């Protein structure tokens, strides 16, 4: 089957998609967007987190056919086109990027939080990121990155057009 949708603001189509194929596979292998990572394939780790119609989902749990006609935004689309977005830059500046495997999902989850809450408390940050697992850190640099991004975003202004 053919799946057509909008990905990061542009029309996208994938041909010869198997009905049981995941959105994650389509994004990575058919559309050439490797940012979202494939780790657990069970929706437990958060490394494949993307927006679908403005709502965060685990792309590994979404059947490709469910994306038909939908608006998908990946970590590649969180920023401002060719430049890093505020959350992406904050992760770099705070040293929250280590092996990088969990980073795309954490960035999307943090971006989603900051779209809803311009100055989140630490408990809100922890809750928003609870679905994302990192094996490299004690999470403190990740929390620092979200705090930094919140401080840099005037009033929680959304970037990248999603949300």
Going from the C-alpha of 106 to that of each of 12, 38, 58, 86, 145, the distances in angstroms are 24, 14, 12, 13, 10
Query: What tens digit of pLDDT does each residue of 62-94 get?
Result: 999 999 999 999 999 998 778 899 999 999 999
Query: What tens digit of pLDDT does each residue of 106-162 get?
Result: 999 999 999 999 999 999 999 999 999 998 877 999 999 999 999 998 765 445 544
Name every residue whose Cβ is closer than 8 Å to that of residue 111 and which is 6 or more positions away in sequence: 78, 85, 87, 159, 160
Helices (H), 20-139: 23-25, 86-93, 103-116, 122-129
Model pTM?
0.91
């Amino acid at each position: 089957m053919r799946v057509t949708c909008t990905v990061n603001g542009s029309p996208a189509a994938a041909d010869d998609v198997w009905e049981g194929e995941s959105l994650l596979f389509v994004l990575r292998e058919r559309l050439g967007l490797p940012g979202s990572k494939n780790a657990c394939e069970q929706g437990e780790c958060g490394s494949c987190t993307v927006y679908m119609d403005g709502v965060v989902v685990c792309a590994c749990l979404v059947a490709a056919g469910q994306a038909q006609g939908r608006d998908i935004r990946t970590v590649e689309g969180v920023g401002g086109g060719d430049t890093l977005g505020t959350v992406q830059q904050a992760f770099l500046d705070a040293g929250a990027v280590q092996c990088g495997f969990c980073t795309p999902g954490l960035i999307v989850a943090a971006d989603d939080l900051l779209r809803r809450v311009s100055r989140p408390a630490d408990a809100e940050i922890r809750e928003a990121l609870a679905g994302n697992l990192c094996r490299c850190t004690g999470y403190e640099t990740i929390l620092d990155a979200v705090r930094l991004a919140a401080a840099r975003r005037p009033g929680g202004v959304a970037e990248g057009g999603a949300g």
